[in-house]
Amino acid sequence: MTPALPWRLLRHLLLMSGAVIYLLPFIWMLSTSFKPADEIFREGFHLLPRHWAAVENYTRALTDVPLLRYLWNGVVVCAGILLLQIVVSLPAAYCFAKLQFRGKRLAWGLVLLSLMIPFQATAIPLYILFYHVGLLDTTAALIVPFIASAFGVFLMRQYFMGVPDDLIHAARLDGMGEFELVWRVMMPAAMPALIAFAIFSVVWHWNDYFWPLLVINTTDLATPPLGTMFFKNEEAGTDFGPLMAGTVIITLPLLLFFLSAQKRFIEGVTLSGVKG
């Protein structure tokens, strides 16, 4: 046994232990979605049920409340936010990375400062503003506050800093304007970082419970986490089997999305982090 082997085993053991700790709530959620009501609070630690109720629980999760409607609302909101964030973040990041203009350092400092302000601190002023303009209880209320993403500008700017200036000069010599250069040259070059940002954005807004709870009252406009609350209320908080089945269904799209883009996500985060 080589001297390095024990350390490698210890490292893998620690990593696997951490993975189990993080995955245990999800494993328990999946296990609960398979159990009938009388087994969920049975004494002892039992992952597998004695009597399987998976079909019943998942059928009720899809029929007792309009869960598919909530999922579609989540897709519309997340896609709308991501598309508008890209439209705003890419040109802004290009300006901060490759252009020189008066007040650049101050503007960049304000972008970094906004990263330190939690959204909850601005939620009540935004709520009052949306009330006065009549946007409460609309899809726009779920999308508009997140159009400008300081994190998106920061991540894209870090990646753009590593794009060679010669590539930009060559595009300008070919007659490209600045906006055309952003979308035809910079965006394809920054695709790994863009995919990484897309994962961050979709996961954050798909799981967002705080803001939809404030601005949405209509059940038909509920996003997946808010729809789970409606399901729980309708079941009086006692029938946890269908509730956990619904939560598994809500979580599954995020898992598939991340697994499909995992390689590009890691590449985008690592390459964006080393640019000064």
pLDDT tens digits for range 67-92: 899 999 999 999 999 999 999 999 99
Find out whether 197 and 267 touch, Cβ atoms under 8 Å: no
Query: What pLDDT, on the 0 to 100 scale, is given for residue 151?
Result: 92
Q: Report the distance separating Cα 176 and Cα 189, nearest Å.
A: 16
Q: Which CATH class is domain 61-273?
A: mainly alpha
Find out whether 235 and 243 touch, Cβ atoms under 8 Å: yes
Structure tokens at 57: 């629980």
What are the backbone angles phi and psi of residue 36, rounded to the nearest 5°?
-75, 165
User: At 184, which amino acid appears?
Assistant: R
What are the backbone angles phi and psi of residue 44, rounded to the nearest 5°?
95, 170
CA pseudo-torsion sign 256, 261, 263, 269? negative
Domain-by-domain residue ranges, the chain? 61-273
Find out whether 73 and 222 touch, Cβ atoms under 8 Å: yes
Query: In Å, how far are 78, 137, 216, 262 from 213, measured between CA atoms?
Result: 16, 10, 6, 30
Query: In Å, how far are 55, 94, 99, 152 from 165, measured between CA atoms?
Result: 58, 12, 11, 21
**Low-confidence residues in the chain, pLDDT < 70:** 1-3, 230-238, 264-276
Give the per-residue SS3 of the chain: CCCHHHHHHHHHHHHHHHHHHHHHHHHHHHHHHCCCHHHHCCCCCCCCCCCCCHHHHHHHHHHCCCHHHHHHHHHHHHHHHHHHHHHHHHHHHHHHHHCCCCCHHHHHHHHHHHHCCCHHHHHHHHHHHHHHHCCCCCHHHHHHHHCCCHHHHHHHHHHHCCCCHHHHHHHHHCCCCHHHHHHHHHHHHCHHHHHHHHHHHHHHHHCCCHHHHHHCCCHHHCCHHHHHHHHHHHCCCCCHHHHHHHHHHHHHHHHHHHHHCHHHHHHHHHHHHCCC
Biggest alpha carbon–alpha carbon distance for the chain: 74
Q: Report the distance separating Cα 132 and Cα 135, nearest Å.
A: 8
Query: What pLDDT, on the 0 to 100 scale, is given for residue 235?
Result: 45
Query: What pLDDT, on the 0 to 100 scale, is given for residue 161?
Result: 87
CA pseudo-torsion sign 92, 95, 101, 104? positive
Find out whether 163 and 100 touch, Cβ atoms under 8 Å: no
